[in-house]
Amino acid sequence: MLTNQRRIQIEWGDCDAAGTVFFPRYLEYGDACTNALFAKAGLFKPVMLKTYNIIGVPLVDLRARFIIPSDFGDEVVYETSITEWGRSSFTVQHQVFRPDGVLGLEIFEKRVWVTRVAGEGPVTFKSQPIPDEVKQRFTHPTAVSAD
């Protein structure tokens, strides 16, 4: 299983008045870490969108378990992986470790592989099956070379 690690320095602007990370910032970091995981698999977003004729992998469900807060000046480590594959969706897990190595937060994102539906009304989206070759990049990363 492919996993990506990313170090993030907690800046003053990431924190609330108490000096701890304002919770939406964790979610922004998570989104960036999901993109970094896809890049590590050789699926750079602009190329992936064009290659597979999708408009993205939007978030449709989100769950977080806050264990221990992080503070201004901390350097946290996000460990990101895809823990479940469906036909057209997948679950991303972020484990966020504090400077002392203790798990401080877990985030679970459910995302869907989607394309735009042509029509005259409002913009609508439709899920698409995730190609097996995409899944292979995460489940057997050594079997597929990065682009």
142: three-class secondary structure by DSSP: helix
Domain range holding 136?
3-142
**Block residue for tokens 């999708």:** 54
Query: How high is the pLDDT of residue 25?
Result: 95
Asked whether residue 128 is domain-assigned, the answer is yes
Looking at residue 53, which CATH number applies to its domain?
Answer: 3.10.129.10
What pLDDT, on the 0 to 100 scale, is given for residue 140? 82
Q: How far apart are CA 77 and CA 39, in angstroms?
A: 18
Reference 94, options 82, 106, 110, 111; nearest CA is: 106
- Read off the pTM: 0.89
Is 16 among the residues known to form the active site? yes
Q: Is the residue at 48 inside a domain?
A: yes
Is the CB of residue 92 less than 8 Å from the CB of residue 34? Answer: yes
Q: Is residue 147 part of a domain?
A: no
DSSP letter for 22, please: P
| Residue 60 CA, distance from chain mean position | 12
Instruction: Give CA separation, 55 vs 17, 37, 87, 117, in Å.
Output: 38, 18, 17, 10
Among 14, 16, 31, 61, the active-site one is 16
In a domain, 29, yes or no: yes
How much is the pLDDT for 145?
A: 45
Question: For residue 94, is it within any domain?
Answer: yes
Alpha-carbon 144 to chain mean position: 20
Query: What pLDDT shows up at residue 142?
Result: 66
Q: Is there a domain that residue 92 lies in? A: yes
Report the number of distinct structural domains present in the chain.
Answer: 1
Task: Kindly state whether residue 101 falls inside one of the protein's structural domains.
Answer: yes
Residue 21 falls within a domain, yes or no?
yes
Calculate the alpha carbon distances from 21 to 28, 43, 76, 91 in Å: 12, 30, 11, 24
Q: Minimal CA–CA distance to 76: which of 129, 125, 32, 127?
A: 32
pLDDT at 49: 93
| Tens of each residue's pLDDT in the chain, 147 residues | 999 999 999 999 999 999 999 999 999 999 999 999 999 999 999 999 999 999 999 999 999 999 999 999 999 999 999 999 999 999 999 999 998 999 999 999 999 999 988 776 777 889 999 999 999 999 986 655 444
Say what the pLDDT of residue 124 is. Answer: 82
